[in-house]
Amino acid sequence: MPKSRIRKKAVYTPPAAAVSNRKKYGSPWVGPAMATFFLIGVAWLVVYYLAESHNVPLPISSWNLLVGFGFLIVGFGLATKWK
């Protein structure tokens, strides 16, 4: 039986300086800002639905859904930056 070939080239390993320059964690403000936007968005929508069911007029009426979901979308956008 023939002998198998021996690997001639060494396996590539990246230099240590390039690996150590990477950020391991995101900015410290991203987590609290993300949670704040999520809470504001959910609270906005809950207040909108409760006020509408009790016939309380709100100043921006039909735009409330857009504002509430806008806060949630910003929160999800920040969630992509959080590590």
Looking at residue 48, its pLDDT comes to 87
Instruction: Mark out the alpha helices in the chain (DSSP H runs).
Output: 16-20, 30-53, 64-79
Is pTM beyond 0.75? Reply is: no
For 52-81, what is each residue's pLDDT tens digit?
777 777 677 778 899 999 999 999 999 998
**Average pLDDT for 30-41:** 96
